[in-house]
């Protein structure tokens, strides 16, 4: 087995994006993204949601090409790789299996270490592309499937301090965009339409105001959007009002959690972290807020390579080749103090 891995390939096929990225791990733990190729499947659009079996098949058809493109971007040959990481969960099991088996096979053929990566840990480490991440910090993962707030008191320890009670933040962006006829994915569409709307035109009540905990809820905003839509609100006004309320609840709750946990650094990652209004609002908080670099917010392979690099830096043992794919895989490994 080769030692001292330097170029790490990362694969994510957890849902409907085939992602392959390459990062370089420099001495001292510095990382550099060399390539990040994502094939976003379009086949699902006609069904209004992701069809798991179709997602698996598309991954099978695309993964070779996406890997070839990523290696070409990085200027590397497959034999230059020193480690392989692939998402093992959470996600669609059939889809996960494609990248996981591909990654394991590749690692075995090259005789390099293999790391099974957690999808949410990948989202968090996507921010390592922009700044060095050293625990302790707080991590807000906001995507189409997750709205989770983790305290990370030390490397590899994740305490869930809050999560959504209902819809994920990105899911709410997507559903309200669909309702308003703004298209898919909803996040960028809402963000764009919001710039032309009046955020005061539709009354959106900020969810869970006055709560002591750090939970999120987006179903009330969805209902408010539906009622306003039926009453004739414009898509732009809906977008502006919803985006402001969603951003406020995410930022306020995260800031309170950072204060409660005594953290000065906050990582904000996942697809919704691409949102401009959210980034601007976090910039006003006085906290050190780290976002993933361009193209690393939504699902991708480079974030998995970064999670692999972090595992190597932390001296974690490689995974065995019997690591399986899991649909449900909580990241928290330490219960929150009650
Ligand atoms: O991280 P991701 O690719 O997938 C999951 O792991 O779920 O996140 C996709 C989500 C979608 O719901 C999409 O609407 C949202 O991220 N998103 C955004 C923006 N760009 C993508 N939400 C708000 N503003 C954006 N600019
Ligand atoms: Zn994701």
Tens digit of each residue's pLDDT (9 = 90 or more) over 289-320: 999 999 999 999 999 999 999 999 999 999 99
Asked whether the predicted pLDDT for residue 160 surpasses 90, the reply is yes
Query: What ligand is nearest to the CA atom of residue 292?
Result: 1
Residue 233 CA from chain centroid, whole number: 31
16 is in an annotated binding site: no
Nearest CA residue ID for atom 14, ligand 1: 187
Mean pLDDT of the 194-218 span: 96
- For residue 267, what pLDDT is reported? 98
Rg (CA), the chain: 20
Q: Which residues contact 118 (CB under 8 A, 6 or more apart)?
A: 87, 88, 89, 90, 307, 329, 331
Looking up tokens 């987006």 gives 218
Three-state secondary structure call for residue 178: helix
Q: Which residues contact 229 (CB under 8 A, 6 or more apart)?
A: 179, 180, 238
- For residue 1, what pLDDT is reported? 45
Residue 122 Cβ contacting ligand 1 at under 6 Å: no
Mean pLDDT of the 164-168 span: 97
Mean pLDDT of the 159-167 span: 98
Ligand 1 pocket mutation, candidates 174, 271, 304, criterion most atoms within 8 A of CB: 271
Distance 271 CA to ligand 2 centre (A): 7
- For residue 338, what pLDDT is reported? 56
Confidence bin at 119 (pLDDT 50/70/90): very high
Asked whether the predicted pLDDT for residue 275 surpasses 70, the reply is yes
Tokens of 33: 């993204």
Confidence bin at 3 (pLDDT 50/70/90): very low
Nearest CA residue ID for atom 18, ligand 1: 187
Residue 301 CA from chain centroid, whole number: 11
Asked whether the predicted pLDDT for residue 5 surpasses 80, the reply is no
Distance 288 CA to ligand 2 centre (A): 23
Q: Which segments of the chain does DSSP mark as H helices, in order?
A: 52-74, 93-110, 119-125, 169-179, 186-194, 219-230, 235-261, 276-283, 302-313
Distance 168 CA to ligand 2 centre (A): 11
- For residue 27, what pLDDT is reported? 85
Asked whether the predicted pLDDT for residue 93 surpasses 90, the reply is yes
- Which residues pair with residue 178 across a beta bridge? none
Asked whether the predicted pLDDT for residue 2 surpasses 70, the reply is no
- Degrees, nearest 5: CA angle 82-73-122: 60
Q: Name which of 44-58, 230-244, 300-314 the model is least confident about.
A: 44-58
- For residue 28, what pLDDT is reported? 83
Residues with CB under 5 Å of ion ligand 2 are 143, 299
Residue 91 Cβ contacting ligand 1 at under 6 Å: no
Q: Determine contact, residues 19/38, Cβ cutoff 8 Å.
A: yes
Determine if the pTM surpasses 0.85: yes
Asked whether the predicted pLDDT for residue 271 surpasses 50, the reply is yes
Dist. CA 254–CA 162, nearest whole Å: 9
Tens digit of each residue's pLDDT (9 = 90 or more) over 125-154: 999 999 999 999 999 999 999 999 999 999
Q: Name which of 39-53, 140-154, 182-196, 313-327 the model is least confident about.
A: 39-53
Mean pLDDT (the chain) is 95
Dist. CA 245–CA 184, nearest whole Å: 20
Q: Which segments of 111-148 does DSSP mark as H helices, in order?
A: 119-125
Residue 240 Cβ contacting ligand 1 at under 6 Å: no
């Amino acid at each position: 087995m080769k030692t001292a891995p330097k170029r790490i390939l990362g694969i994510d096929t957890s849902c409907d994006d085939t992602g392959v990225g390459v990062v370089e791990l420099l001495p001292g733990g510095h990382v550099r993204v060399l390539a990040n190729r994502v094939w976003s499947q379009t086949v699902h659009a006609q069904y209004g949601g992701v069809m798991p079996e179709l997602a698996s098949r598309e991954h099978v058809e695309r993964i070779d090409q996406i890997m070839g493109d990523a290696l070409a971007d990085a200027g590397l040959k497959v034999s230059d790789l020193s480690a392989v990481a692939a998402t093992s969960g959470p996600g669609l099991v059939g889809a996960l299996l494609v990248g996981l088996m591909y990654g394991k096979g590749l690692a075995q053929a090259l005789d390099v270490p293999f790391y099974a990566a957690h999808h949410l840990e990948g989202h968090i480490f996507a921010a390592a592309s922009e700044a060095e991440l050293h625990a302790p910090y707080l991590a807000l993962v906001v995507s189409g499937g997750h709205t989770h707030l983790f305290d990370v008191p030390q490397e590899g320890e994740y305490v869930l301090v809050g999560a959504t009670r209902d819809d994920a933040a990105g899911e709410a962006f997507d559903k309200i965009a669909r309702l308003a006829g703004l298209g898919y994915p909803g996040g960028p569409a809402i963000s764009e339409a919001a710039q032309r709307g009046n955020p005061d035109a539709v009354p959106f009540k900020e969810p869970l105001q006055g709560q002591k905990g750090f939970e999120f809820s987006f179903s009330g905003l969805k209902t408010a959007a539906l009622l306003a839509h039926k009453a004739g609100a414009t898509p732009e006004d809906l977008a502006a009002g919803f985006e402001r309320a969603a951003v406020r609840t995410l930022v306020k709750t995260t800031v309170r959690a950072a204060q409660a946990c005594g953290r000065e650094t906050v990582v904000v990652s996942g697809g919704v972290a691409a949102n401009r209004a959210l980034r601007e609002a976090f910039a006003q908080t006085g906290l050190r807020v780290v976002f993933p670099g361009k193209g690393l917010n939504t699902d991708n392979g480079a974030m998995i390579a970064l999670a692999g690099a972090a595992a190597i830096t932390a001296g974690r043992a490689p995974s065995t080749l019997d690591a399986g794919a899991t649909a449900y895989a909580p990241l928290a490994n330490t219960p929150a103090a009650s």
